[in-house]
Structure 1
Amino acid sequence: MDFNFLNTRGFHWYGYDIIENKFLDLSAVEPDGVGAATVQIVSIQKDEKNNLLYGMSVPENRLLRYDIAGSETTILGSPVEWSDFVYTNRFMWVDSRGRVYISAGSARAQWKRGESPDIFNNIWYYDPESGFGQLDDFPLQGPNAMEVGQWDRANEILYTADDQGNIYRFVDADGSWSFIGKPNFIGVEGTPKIWVFQLSADGEKIYMGVSDTSSPNAIWEYDIASGQASELAKISDLDNVSATQQFITGYDSWDSRGSFYISSFTMYNDVNVYMLGVDPVRIKASNDPDFMLIEVGAQTNDAGVRLSRTGTTTESLEVLYEVSLYDANDSRLNKLLGESVIAQGQSSVELTLESLTPSLSSGFSRAEFSIVPDGNDYVIGNAYKFDLTIP
């Protein structure tokens, strides 16, 4: 964290065109072809409602805003109380009201810069109307910037953590904040870096990665309700090559099949980054003889959809799903979230079209149903996504 950034040209905003499968250099049309001269950003966040991107620079901790429609970057600055170069948040978030939540600082000796607790032991914010401010009712467990985080699938509750493993909950509806705990990584030496953070779709588990200690890098499962943590798998159990690297990182990176993805790397060793996919449900079924692997599938019929499961029926099973609505150009207009329960002793449940699409409006061209793997109790089969026939 020094002034070497002044010798750089500047960063670029990029977009990704899913249909064309290509990256777009959004900054190519900006002055000098960069987002901002000599500025480098280390974290970004989107404001979908207002069509904006936000970024935080390192080491200056300046907040930047990119207007997607206008192709323009604005340097918003930082709170006047933030002096010197301190550790920059790797995760920040935007609420439904357009307020951006930021943090800075580190208690680790390698990055600590004498941060004042009065300034950095709280979350701060940027409001487009009023500017920067400190949130005294958003206390932290020490001056540690947020490192990782993920919203629940309804974008109503956010879970976030610093790199020490302190976990917090933010509720969007009332803007409330709470500390929910810190996992006890039993047997792990030292203070690992927590750079992996994956919230299960059912909102019950957080899969966290521990790395950069004398103990093997590993993925742990944290139960939110009980506060208990248990080791899911060592990286060496999943892939011997990835396990040779020093760090693991990755948050909010689930695919549609129930796996999340992390990277494994070491700085300055001339070895490329390894990408590793992790399916926590299949790992639990492989490691625990008492954990029965359940596969959920779906079939469409004239009345609606039948959800079915394999394996044991001794307990009821909550199944998550979503219905996506698309226009004639195949652009998604809306996504309806749902859940259903396959009752104890039953292997299937019927969903009517009325229950799947209770408030459909005109203007959509097709409706696509898909099962959502919950990342905790079940996996999905090959028949999990199809178009609904709407009369």
Structure 2
Amino acid sequence: MMRQLVRLGLVLVCCALPAVGEAVDPQDPRSATGETGRAGALDGTWIWRLPDTPNGLHPTQSWHATGSTPDGDIYVGGMDHRTNAALYRIEARTGTLRLAGDARSASEAAHNWLPGETAQKFHTRPLWHHGKVYVATMDRSDLDEGYLARRGFHWYAYDPAHDRFTDLSAAEPGGSAVPHGNLVTLASDPVRNVIYGAGVPTGAIYRYDVATGRTQDLGRPASYGQPYVYTGRVMWVDARGRLYFTASNWDAPAAHDHVHFYDPQTGFGEEPGWVLKDGMALETGQCFDGGRHCVFGDDRGHVYRFDQDAHTWTYLGQVETGKAAGWNGVEFWLFAVAPDRTRAYVATSTSPRPSDDTALYEFDFASGQTRRLCAMADLDPALAHSHVHTGYDAWDAAGRFYFASFGYGDKPVVRVSRIDPARLKAALARRAATKAGAGAGR
């Protein structure tokens, strides 16, 4: 049960102590003017801190909530897992991080925030769809009937052209997308102008029609059996418009040890030959060519390739770190597929235990080999106590990937890092050469 709670983000974790000279002020005016960040300890790295919102949200976590747009802007969700969640934007042109909006403020502006209401998380990866960025709320993570006592999730959209963050569900019946339930995963179908969402705790699939502003509950595969499942944190729409998704349930793994799909023409179906190692739902991934080709990973470090044209699902291997994967070991929530599609940059997390051994690795798709690049603390001392590193499919136009980090500490914060892989690897090579030279001179 504890392992399940951690994977759901229920353990209230908070971030590392700030670096020397890095102030943490609840009234920091940078929440309005923008955070320019600073260079990390190694060349090719840059670091920002998510600022507080004007209405008092202090973000302490960021679960799978980093995404990018076609022009290279980066969006990051920050949350406190108790009251509210916010969306932040890093502008590619200036490198400035600033607040895009928060759930409570947007809903209050739409007169759609009830007394005592909360929005614990934007757990969804910020989704680019027809010029706007979409997120949705997850206000309860438990896999039980308790969700029925709370209002359903809200859809929100940020319009960068008008710098406007809006509660879309204010226009839906009852002011929420559905009467009860939460969203944890999003996928875009730009051809049909719809957005799919995967729900918690039932694993139901929802479809939001952008043109009409209405949400439809599509149900879920009959094979699920159990009332509550662990919903995969990534899903995708291929070039034909078919939605693929995964789930896990430790009580009946056989029902969930493969990929499921929803076809707009035929409904739900299964790909029983597209097997998931250990029955683990997919956590991270990245698609190319309009969804024809994708690479995915789970939190155990298993990596897969999807090819629509060949209709194949290929297991590429497991990220090997020399440490046990899973509960009481390391887990993988950072997964950045290089633009040339030959490798992925992955990092270990050790939630809920703080660790000084979270590290960055490079996994080669052709050979299935893993190469350790450095400890996360080597990137910058500010990451020394951050034991959770999350983010996938978040690249800018200059070939740099982004991720969020948080952990335990007396002054909880969330940091966002940008990595230029070529420059970082060159810096690591220079450091190794310097150490080797110093050793030879003794």
What TM-score do you get using the length of structure 1 for normalisation? 0.68
Partner of 2:358 in structure 1?
A: 217
Partner of 2:284 in structure 1?
A: 148
Give matches, 1:24-63, under 5 Å: 24-63=166-205
For residues 218 and 257 of structure 1, the distance between their equivalents in structure 2, rounded to whole angstroms, comes to 23
Partner of 1:93 in structure 2?
A: 236
Contact 1:164/1:191 (CA < 8 Å) preserved in 2? no
Instruction: Give the one of 293, 313, 316 matched to 1:157.
Output: 293
Instruction: Give the one of 8, 13, 33 matched to 2:155.
Output: 13
For residues 165 and 269 of structure 1, the distance between their equivalents in structure 2, rounded to whole angstroms, comes to 31
Contact 2:241/2:264 (CA < 8 Å) preserved in 1? yes
SS at match of 2:174: helix
Instruction: Give the one of 262, 268, 271 matched to 1:132.
Output: 268
1:115 aligns with 2:257: no
Higher relative contact order (CA 8 A, sep 6+): 2
Partner of 2:332 in structure 1?
A: 194
Deviation at 1:8, TM superposition (A): 2.0
Letter in 1 for 2:374: A
Contact 1:15/1:23 (CA < 8 Å) preserved in 2? yes
For residues 268 and 115 of structure 1, the distance between their equivalents in structure 2, rounded to whole angstroms, comes to 37
Contact 1:156/1:172 (CA < 8 Å) preserved in 2? yes
Contact 2:238/2:290 (CA < 8 Å) preserved in 1? no
Letter in 2 for 1:252: D
Give matches, 1:47-86, under 5 Å: 47-82=189-224, 83-86=226-229
For residues 253 and 291 of structure 2, the distance between their equivalents in structure 1, rounded to whole angstroms, comes to 33
Structure 1 residues 24 and 259, CA gap change in structure 2 (3 angstroms): same
Contact 2:334/2:390 (CA < 8 Å) preserved in 1? yes
Q: Deviations over 1:64-86 (max 9, x none)?
A: 00011111100011111211322
For residues 11 and 133 of structure 1, the distance between their equivalents in structure 2, rounded to whole angstroms, comes to 26
Letter in 1 for 2:316: I
For residues 29 and 262 of structure 1, the distance between their equivalents in structure 2, rounded to whole angstroms, comes to 33
The alignment yields a C-alpha RMSD, in angstroms, of 2.4
Deviation at 1:26, TM superposition (A): 1.9
Contact 2:236/2:291 (CA < 8 Å) preserved in 1? no
Structure 1 residues 62 and 155, CA gap change in structure 2 (3 angstroms): closer
Q: Name the structure with the higher helix share.
A: 2
Contact 1:243/1:264 (CA < 8 Å) preserved in 2? no
Partner of 2:398 in structure 1?
A: 257
SS at match of 1:241: helix
Deviation at 1:202, TM superposition (A): 0.8
Max Rg structure:
1
- Range moving further from structure 2, 215-224 or 180-189: 180-189
What TM-score do you get using the length of structure 2 for normalisation? 0.61
1:243 aligns with 2:388: no
For residues 408 and 210 of structure 2, the distance between their equivalents in structure 1, rounded to whole angstroms, comes to 33
Q: Deviations over 1:124-155 (max 9, x none)?
A: 11111211122112112121111100013664
Letter in 2 for 1:66: Y
Instruction: For structure 1, list consecutive stretches of 5 or more residues without a partner in the other structure.
Output: 107-111, 292-391
1:23 aligns with 2:160: no
